[in-house]
Chain A
Amino acid sequence: MAVKVKIPVPLQRLTKGKDEVEGDPGTVISLINTLDSKYPGLGERISEAGKLRRFVNVYVNEEDVRFLKNEETVVKDGDEVSIVPAIAGGIITAISI
């Protein structure tokens, strides 16, 4: 079992079109860094200097990590992580390519 990571549509170009990828248990930031080595560019869209960007939210299961331990929130095998950017119709935001 691994950690399931739901990739939002604007970032799926970086994951070769996949809407869900697998990652390793650990902290949220280590998970993002590991995913970035597999899918280059993903990390900087979500975080900057080890901190999550303010217009992208990360949820572990249904919980917003900002209200847990932020980047240091621990994710376990079987957890589902969702990356959710702010969207507004018809435009490309910073998180897109």
Chain B
Amino acid sequence: MEFTEEQLKRYSRHIILPEVGGKGQQKISDARVLIVGAGGLGCPVGYYLAAAGIGTLALVDNDVVELSNLQRQIAHSVKTLGVNKADSAKQTFESLNPDVNVIAVKERINSKNIIGLIKDYDIVVDGTDNFPTRYLINDACVMLKKPLVSGAILRFEGQVTTIMPGDGPCYRCLFEEPPPAGLVPSCQEAGVLGVLPGVIGALQATEVLKLILGKGKPLKGELLIYDALGVNFRKVKIPKNTDCPMCGKNPKIKELSDIPEQYCSI
């Protein structure tokens, strides 16, 4: 596809980067990315990927926009209160960049629909707020060998890692299983500094663009930890676990299942 005059202008700051150029911008325009969750993380990830000109951007969310979301979920507004979050973000991203084909998937992701949802995408982004979905997305991405850019936030701290199935560890190599339900003392919101998902989401969007361009070093085999209060970024190694129940030598997990929802979501 040839870029129009307008597109050349829109993406000019990309195109003049030797690492991107016209060819790289074409790769971005051809890419298909699926973001699970159009909330704190999904909004900034989607915003920057839409601005970058990603060809097809799918947003999966079955929640509606509430006033308490607007402190951090920057793709929504008072105009879309009560609207499905995927639809609300779609409106925002389309007005930012009409080149992008934004697909709103108004479903809650589960073991039955996840394979069908992610199979036609190049990269999956995890912007979910709960453990059951986080593990489900990991397991499905390992099965389909889809690159997964995972981000998580809590209060003043965030974590990011890029999972390249077949070429490095998966989320279960890092944390084998979610915290057990019996140990969760109470269900209450933990709170999050509104800008924190912006920082983590921008890092996830950066990882996605690097994967598409094939440039730089992906954040695989490492967990990046951001501590907003102490102002530090740290990385720890994630070795591939040969006993991993999902991607180890003798995986115990052979099919996807829904771990009962035992936690409160935002």
Q: Which residues of A contact B (CB under 8 A)?
A: 6, 8-10, 19-20, 54-55, 57, 59, 62-64, 66-67, 82, 84, 86-97
Which 4 residue pairs spanning A and B have beta carbons closest together? A94-B183, A90-B266, A89-B129, A94-B179
Q: Mark B164-195, 1 if CB is under 8 A from A, else 0.
A: 00000000001111111001111111111000
Decide if A9 touches B156 in the complex (CB within 8 Å).
Answer: yes
Chain A contacts of B18 at CB under 8 A?
A: none
Total of A-B residue pairs, C-beta within 8 Å: 119
A86's nearest neighbour on chain B, judged by CB, is B175
Q: Could you give, for residues 216-241 of chain B, a 1 whenever the CB lies within 8 Å of some chain A CB and a 0 otherwise? A: 00000001010101100011111101
CB closest residue in chain A, given B227: A19
Q: Which of B153, B178, B180 contacts A89 (CB 8 A)?
A: B153
| Distance of A54 Cα from B265 Cα, bound (Å) | 22
- Cβ of B253 < 8 Å from any Cβ of A? no
Q: Is the CB of B189 within 8 A of A90?
A: yes
Is residue B128 contacting chain A, with contact meaning CB distance below 8 A?
A: yes
When C-beta atoms are compared, the residue in chain A nearest to B191 turns out to be A90
Contact with A along B187-216 (1 / 0, CB 8 A): 111111000010000000000000000000
Contact bitstring B76-99, A, C-beta under 8 A = 1, else 0: 000000000000000000000000
CB distance from A5 to the nearest CB of B (A): 13
- Which of B129, B223, B237 has a CB less than 8 Å from the CB of A90? B129
Whether A64 contacts B239 by the Cβ 8 Å rule is yes
Q: Tell me whether B183 and A89 are in contact (CB under 8 A).
A: no
Closest chain-A Cβ to B73's Cβ sits at a distance in Å of 11
Cβ of B263 within 8 Å of any chain A Cβ, yes or no, is yes
Question: Contacts A54-B176, A55-B175: A87 and B185 contacting too (C-beta < 8 A)?
Answer: no
Cα of A6 to Cα of B179 in the assembled complex, Å: 21
Q: Given the complex, which residues of B lie within 8 Å of A89, measured CB to CB? A: 39-41, 128-130, 152-154, 192, 197, 266
